[in-house]
Amino acid sequence: MRMRVRVLSSVSAAAVVAGAVVLSQGAANAADPPSPQDFPPAMVNGVAHDLGISQEQARKTLGEQAAARVVLDRLPETVVRQAPGKWFDDQTGALTVAVTDQATADAVRAAGARPAFVGRSKSRLDSLVSKVADLAAKDVPGLNGYGVDEVRNDVLVRINATKKTTATEEFLRSLRDVDGVRIEETDTSPVQQAGEVNPGDGWWPGSETACSVGVAATDANGGKHFLTAGHCTNDANQAAYGQSGQQNRIGTGNVGGSRSINGREGDMGVVAVTESGWTLSAAVNTWGQPAINVTGSKDAIVGETVCHSGNTAPNWECGRVTKLNHTMDYGSVVVEGLTVTTACSQGGDSGGVWLAGDKAVGLHEGAINGNNCPTGDNAVFQPLNEALTKWNLTLFTGGGTTDVTVANPGNQTGTVGTAVNKTNSVSGGTSPYTWSATGLPAGLSIASSTGTITGTPTAAGTSNVTITATDSSSPAKSGSASFTWTINPTGGGTCSAVTNATDYAITDNTTVESPVTVSGCTGNASATAKVDVNIVHTYIGDLTVSLIAPDGSAYVLHNKEGGSADNIVKSYTVNLSSETANGAWKLRVNDSGPGDSGKIDTWTLNPGSSGDGGGCAPASNGTNVNIADNSTVESTISLSCTGTASASSKVDVAIVHTWRGDLVIDLVAPDGTAYRLKNSSSSDSADNVNASYTVNLSSESRNGAWKLRVQDVETNDTGYIDSWTLTT
């Protein structure tokens, strides 16, 4: 697994406290659910990755989940209070409510939910829990916990079989014949989590091991606080620090000894933020992705997708809620009223915030399987609203440090041999900034202190450029902007590529065109003309993309392939040898489906010409090559061409993968020289690689076996090389 998120940032002087915050403790009024595009990217990415689904499926699930919340708010209060269970069904996308009679079923349907008839009422389930609790009061070795399973309509009792004694067997014999009690045996025991991490992560109670900040809150007098786990605040009036080694004090935990609980009532505590320079924030740290500003609080429901931010890598982890109001027996302490999920968690995550969308639902408490992460139930949290009510605190939703925002300069063009001087700007965060860039055309560089890009381009081609500014806060924040940079050849008999970087909106069931004009070419276009396309769209299966020649002839590049995938970033090779190169060319995009839209971001036409003297035709390999975890695979293309390759050779790559940040991609020349196309990035959780890379291969002979080498450097995600094309 890889690092994705972090909860509190400890900023040295003007630090920010808070993992997340909430608006109110009560249920919100019923309202229209947000559109799928409104969900925070970190939530979409985390849910997609940890649940093993696509980003589109994650957005769909979050949208259906939000709609189910609206339905839940419409249910009569008596139905909600008396229901044996209620859950979000990810198969049907609907809120399901357990019922025992027809009248209640009718009320559920009238509110827009789906009734499910069950055999045990809520009162019957409550009596079964009480029976288990009475038996468990005699101290049962190996008892991990118990509570209602709302979907199964029974009571689940968990036992660590490796710790069973005669007393345990007596306890189990008393339950085995009880209708409605299910016993599950395992070989692990739950833990309330804590652990050591690097300085600046989370918060530290005195000289003890690290915990995580949950949510920021204020009291009736305007005093500043944050909520966290009670087992992190056991000691009264203990100093709380923003760094290990008792450095960078934040305030005091468990003031007066009355602001911490770690027992049957729950696992929750309060830290008073008293030191100057510390402010509260509503922004949840999502560790490398845009922060999520919490807009409210709520109680979780079974089936809901949730994510938590914690102090220990991988920091941002997601799963589904499986059970509510469960009792956990940690051996030294029994905690009631906890929520169980399928998410993973690590030592040091304790106290960190849990989110459902942009609503806070809990404080991280522990894990059924310790720091292991098997399939099924694992991470556990304390419901948040209970903690807020306990100490009459109001959740903080304002303030916070500003994000670093880099102004996008738009797509750029230039010419080989013509000097470049491009300034860039940034706002937000704490100055001074440090600048960096990836994908710059050969011959250009960025000044780390100013962000100005200078130099003289040495090779023609189109590059995908990302510029990043990192501020001086601790921990640092950064912002990025991405764009294309097309470098055209110099004049003198060659037929130059032309680019249109103006955005053209693609709306539902419409056709749009983006024009370019080619001039200065000799005769007809090439049999290996290139069309580089960058289209932003949320469902590329809706699109037909064509190149329109000056005489009106249409060359179809993309014909509704790709289904629900996002965006088309691809280079196409087209035989235009029957077309006059000079004239007005168009990229035509037809959207034939509802519900998704986008834009033509940029496109480049390199027509070549019959006077260019031929060349080496592009070659492709469309055989799938599987990419397993922590493996290296290769796909080969053999060329039979004369001369050396171009300084602006192109490598078009299509790789299907569920976490592209795991991948390192190289082009390997026939002599074994490797050209790096893409590095791994732990924060890049997007699916798939669909990119066109420009590479200077002018020192390489075209003839021979070329390889695309792909290395997967992490676990949990796999894929395959779908196809790739080499143009030298």
Q: Are residues 126 and 112 in the same domain?
A: no
Buried b (16+ CB within 10 A) or exposed e, 215-253: bbbbeeeeebbbbbbbbbbbeeebbbbbbbeeebbbbbb
Residue indicated by tokens 């990192």: 470
Cα radius of gyration (the chain): 30
Q: What angle do CA 64, 375, 264 make, to 5 degrees?
A: 85
Residue 494, pLDDT score: 44
Output phi, psi for 348, to 5 deg.
Answer: 100, -10
Report the C-alpha gap between 627 and 221 in whole angstroms: 58
| Contacts for 301 with CB less than 8 Å, ≥ 6 apart | 68, 69, 72, 86, 87, 88, 95, 321, 324
Q: Is the peptide bond before 33 cis (omega within 30 degrees of 0)?
A: no
Percent of the chain with pLDDT over 90: 27
Would you state the pLDDT for residue 13? 27
How far, CA to CA in Å, does 695 sit from each of 309, 419, 708? 40, 20, 13
252 and 105 in one domain? no
Using alpha carbons, list the distances in angstroms from residue 304 to 32, 86, 324, 364: 18, 11, 11, 16
The answer to the question of residue 553 being in a domain is: yes
Same domain, 521 and 568: yes
Any domain includes 452 = yes
Cβ density class 370-398: b for 16+ within 10 Å, e for less: bbebeeebbbbbbbbbbbbeebebbbbbe
Q: How many domains does the chain have?
A: 6
The Cα–Cα gap between 478 and 469 comes to 6
Q: Are 153 and 120 in contact (CB under 8 A)?
A: yes
Nearest 5°: phi and psi at 41? -55, -40
Q: Are residues 45 and 137 in the same domain?
A: no
- Domain assignment present for residue 14? The answer is no
Burial environment of residue 687 by CB neighbours within 10 A (0 to 12, 13 to 18, 19 or more): buried
- Report the pLDDT value the prediction gives residue 80, as an integer from 0 to 100: 92
| pLDDT of res. 495 | 57
Q: Are residues 153 and 208 in the same domain?
A: no
What pLDDT, on the 0 to 100 scale, is given for residue 20? 31
Tokens 């660590």 sit on residue: 160
CATH of the domain at 417: 2.60.40.10
Examine the fold and report which residue of 395, 418, 451 is the final residue of a domain before the chain moves on: 395
| pLDDT recorded at residue 371 | 63
Residue 30 lies in a domain: no
The gap from C-alpha 45 to its chain's centroid, in whole angstroms, comes to 2
pLDDT at res. 265: 92
- Same domain assignment for residues 333 and 454: no
Residues 290, 269, single domain; the answer is yes
Q: State which of 575, 606, 637 marks the end of a domain.
A: 606
pLDDT number for residue 638: 86
Same domain, 327 and 457: no
Sequence letter at residue 186: T
**pLDDT for residue 72:** 92
Residue 24 located in a structural domain: no
Please, which residues have CB within 8 angstroms of residue 382's CB and are 6 or more apart in sequence? Answer: 229, 230, 266, 267, 268, 335, 337, 338, 339, 362, 363, 364, 365
**pLDDT digit string, tens, across residues 482-497:** 888 888 765 433 456 7
Instruction: Write the CA distances from 243 to 11, 35, 205, 400, 590, integer angstroms.
Output: 9, 39, 10, 19, 56
Cβ neighbours of 636 (radius 10 Å): 12
Stretches in the chain below the pLDDT threshold 70: 1-38, 192-201, 277, 370-372, 374, 398-402, 429-431, 472-475, 489-496, 520, 522, 608-617, 642-643
CA distance 210 to 203: 6
Find residue 454's DSSP bridge partners: 421, 445
Q: According to the model, what pLDDT value does residue 382 have?
A: 95
pLDDT at 549: 93
Burial class (CB in 10 A: 0-12, 13-18, 19+), 207: exposed
Check residue 673 and give its pLDDT: 79
Same domain, 278 and 137: no
Judge whether 637 lies within some domain: yes
Nearest alpha-carbon partner for 308 in 46, 105, 537, 546: 46
Whether residue 321 sits in one domain with residue 410: no
Q: Are residues 315 and 238 in the same domain?
A: yes
How buried is 615 (Cβ within 10 angstroms: 0-12 exposed, 13-18 middle, 19+ buried)? middle
Distance CA 430, CA 695 (A): 36
Q: Could you give the CA distance from residue 462 to residue 143 in angstroms, rounded to a whole number? A: 63
Task: Write the DSSP assignment of 268-337 as a string of letters.
Answer: EEEEEE-STT-EE--EEP-SSS--EE--EE----BT-EEEEE-SSTT-EEEEEEEEEEEEEE-SS-EEEE
Question: What is the C-alpha separation between 100 and 120, in angstroms, rounded?
Answer: 7
Report whether 540 contacts 694 (CB < 8 A). Answer: no
Residue 408 CB coordination number (10 Å): 12
C-alpha count within 13 angstroms, C-beta hemisphere, residue 409: 19
pLDDT of residue 26: 30
Dihedral of the CA atoms 684, 687, 690, 691 (nearest 10)?
0
Full residue range of the structural domain in which residue 76 is found: 41-117
Q: Which of 131, 112, 142 is nearest to 179 (CA)?
A: 131
**Distance between alpha carbon 200 and the CA centroid of its chain, in Å?**
23
Q: How many helices and strands in the chain, by DSSP H and E?
A: 7, 53
Give the CATH number, domain containing residue 689.
2.60.120.260
Q: What is the pLDDT of residue 485?
A: 86
pLDDT of residue 29: 37
Q: Is 706 helix (H, G, I), strand (E, B) or coil?
A: strand
pLDDT per residue as tens digits for the range 22-72: 222 233 334 455 555 567 788 888 888 888 888 888 888 988 988 898 899
For residues 527 and 574, give the distance between their C-alpha atoms in angstroms, rounded to a whole number.
7
Residue 601 phi, psi (nearest 5) = -85, -50
Neighbours of 126 (CB within 10 A): 15
Is the torsion defined by CA of 488, 489, 492, 496 positive or negative? negative
- Identify whether 31 is part of a domain: no
Helix-, strand-, coil-residue percentages of the chain, each rounded to 5:
15, 40, 45
Whether residue 601 sits in one domain with residue 466: no
156 within some domain: yes
